[in-house]
A and B are shown apart, each in its own frame.
Chain A
Amino acid sequence: MSNDVAVDVRGLSKHFGDRVIFKDVSLQVRKSEVVAIIGPSGVGKSTFIRCINYLHPFDEGSITVLGHELHGTASGGPPPTRAQLREIRTHVGMVFQTFNLFQHLSVLENIVLGPMDVKKVPRAQAVERAMGLLEMMGLTARANMYPRRLSGGEQQRVAICRALAMDPQIMLFDEPTSMLDPELVGDVLEAIQRLAQEGMTMILVTHEMMFAKEVADTVVVMADNTIAEMGPARQILEAPRTLRAQNFLARVLRRNADEEARLTAMGGDEG
């Protein structure tokens, strides 16, 4: 494996009981590469990216993350040690669909908790770093508020700060904008785009096709519990080769067109 590879997934399979979540998923992510995973709901996209930081164990296959090897529970490899998991999770940041900010802590405390608890960063230093991140996101004024006082977009940007405070080398995003009101999506996408420009390695599950086309180097289409097709973003989104990818994209495009038509019609009613 070349040093250039950040994440190397080989033959990954996972079941819950006898339900197949995904099977035989293989994927290589280079350093600084941005990979967008798209596909219909319920094909295991979210579960898949949770395997990369081992929030979910998997049955078969292996994942090499920044040189640490994780094995499927059914494939006979040794289970990861606690130290290994801490190492991986320190270097792999994650942002969730539902933000999951710690409700009982202020914005600032949300961000410093990880560095102080896991990396034993002195408080003053952690606070300084956190304030720097908040400033970058334009959230300085929110530092001492509780999460629920913030809008969804603000909460998600705080969640990004919380992940970045650990100085990760890889960032995982699980549908970061799908719980947001449409007018709040832009700020979050902008923040993610800035990270991409700075060369952060990223894997993101998303429903924002335009964003994927703009920001991602590689697009992965997951359908029927496995990877249907992957390749350069533009090629996949504009000229998919497999039938399953074509079907999915056609459905998404039709839905977007319907929505536009509906909006136009509504505008017409008002006018």
Chain B
Amino acid sequence: MHLAWLYAGVILQGAVVTLELTVVSTVLSFILGIFGALGRIYGPPWLRTAILAYVELIRGLPPILQLFIIFFGLTQFGIDLPPFTAAMIWLVIYGTGYAIEVFRAGIQAVADGQREAATAVGMGFLSTLRKVVMPQAFVLMLPPLTNFVIIQLKNTTLVYFIGVADIMYQAQLGADATEQPGTLYALAAVAYLIMNGTLSRIAAHLERKAAAYR
């Protein structure tokens, strides 16, 4: 128990890094994901094909391979990224691939009649999207988006392999130093559970609020 207290501070430092990676990459992935989804649905054929190819590429390659390509692979071309930057770039690239699909499904799940009604009163494409389609799509997407954030948070553990000091990294460091891996991993587990539990609570709250009209 004494050991756990000793290392709680270090794990907390790791948690800050994990949180930073998750939050920033999620926000960027969502923004890029929305544009990607719109391009995929409404864009010209070449753009639709390009976005589809991107999604297939991201989905088709193992996460660790993608991370290694960005961090190690690019050095061969003179691009030597610091670990944290490489980790963030990978999380955004990876997250965007999945976010595009979530947003696409959400936007397409909004009934056509809703768009038609907005168009019929004279609303333009962007107004219709912003005031009619997206608010409804977000409610439909809440469960998959929650899932997305939780998975993304867990994905951050992979950055341990390129030496970013996240929770996993700190726990491993502690485990090696103390030779008590069980305690350190348990500590890490608690940190992840607290973060993901909080996310679930927030999502449940949002869903309850959004359910008012359903």
Interface residues of A (CB under 8 A from B): 53, 55, 82, 85-86, 89-90, 93-94, 96, 98, 100-105, 113-114, 117-119, 146-148, 159, 162-163, 166
- Chain B residues closer than 8 Å to A93, beta-carbon distance: 120-121
- Chain A residues closer than 8 Å to B117, beta-carbon distance: 94, 96, 100-102, 159, 162
CB-CB under 8 A for A117 and B136, given A100-B113, A166-B121: no
- B114–A94 touching, CB < 8 Å: no
Among B114, B121, B214, which residue has its beta carbon within 8 angstroms of that of A89? B121
Residue in B closest to A116 when the chains form the complex, CB atoms: B131
B208 smallest CB distance to A (angstroms) = 15
- A96–B113 touching, CB < 8 Å: yes
Among B124, B135, B212, B213, which residue has its beta carbon within 8 angstroms of that of A82? B124
B127 interfacial by beta-carbon distance below 8 Å: yes
B89 interfacial by beta-carbon distance below 8 Å: no
- B122–A104 touching, CB < 8 Å: no
- B123–A55 touching, CB < 8 Å: no
- A96–B116 touching, CB < 8 Å: yes
Among B114, B123, B135, B136, which residue has its beta carbon within 8 angstroms of that of A100? B114
CB-CB under 8 A for A89 and B120, given A103-B136, A146-B212, A148-B213: yes
- B119–A55 touching, CB < 8 Å: yes
Chain B interface, number of residues (Cβ within 8 angstroms): 21
- B113–A98 touching, CB < 8 Å: yes
CA distance A266 to B132 in the complex (A): 46
Residue in A closest to B127 when the chains form the complex, CB atoms: A117
CA distance A96 to B136 in the complex (A): 19
- B120–A53 touching, CB < 8 Å: yes
B139 interfacial by beta-carbon distance below 8 Å: yes
Among A90, A96, A148, which residue has its beta carbon within 8 angstroms of that of B122? A90
The 3 closest A-B pairs by CB, nearest first: A114-B121, A89-B122, A100-B113
- Chain B residues closer than 8 Å to A147, beta-carbon distance: 213
Q: List 22 A-B contacts (CB under 8 A).
A: A55-B119, A82-B124, A86-B124, A89-B119, A90-B121, A96-B116, A96-B120, A100-B111, A100-B117, A101-B117, A102-B114, A102-B118, A102-B136, A113-B121, A113-B123, A113-B131, A113-B132, A114-B122, A117-B131, A118-B123, A147-B213, A163-B120
- Chain B residues closer than 8 Å to A113, beta-carbon distance: 118, 121, 123, 131-132
- B122–A94 touching, CB < 8 Å: no
CA distance A114 to B132 in the complex (A): 11
Q: Which of B95-141 contact A (CB under 8 A)?
A: 111, 113-114, 116-124, 127, 131-132, 135-136, 139
CA distance A104 to B131 in the complex (A): 10
Residue in B closest to A162 when the chains form the complex, CB atoms: B121
- A104–B113 touching, CB < 8 Å: no
Q: Mark B54-66, 1 if CB is under 8 A from A, else 0.
A: 0000000000000
Residue in B closest to A88 when the chains form the complex, CB atoms: B122
- Chain A residues closer than 8 Å to B119, beta-carbon distance: 55, 89
Residue in B closest to A172 when the chains form the complex, CB atoms: B120
CA distance A89 to B139 in the complex (A): 29
B136 smallest CB distance to A (angstroms) = 5
CB-CB under 8 A for A103 and B114, given A117-B127, A146-B212, A148-B214: yes
- Chain A residues closer than 8 Å to B135, beta-carbon distance: 104
- Chain B residues closer than 8 Å to A166, beta-carbon distance: 121-122
- Chain A residues closer than 8 Å to B139, beta-carbon distance: 104
- Chain A residues closer than 8 Å to B124, beta-carbon distance: 82, 86
B137 smallest CB distance to A (angstroms) = 10
Interface core residue of B120, B132, B213 (most chain A CB under 10 Å): B120
CA distance A88 to B42 in the complex (A): 24
- A146–B213 touching, CB < 8 Å: yes
- B136–A104 touching, CB < 8 Å: yes
- Chain A residues closer than 8 Å to B131, beta-carbon distance: 113, 117
Among B111, B114, B116, B123, which residue has its beta carbon within 8 angstroms of that of A114? B123
- A86–B214 touching, CB < 8 Å: no
- B213–A86 touching, CB < 8 Å: no
Residue in A closest to B113 when the chains form the complex, CB atoms: A100
CA distance A147 to B116 in the complex (A): 17
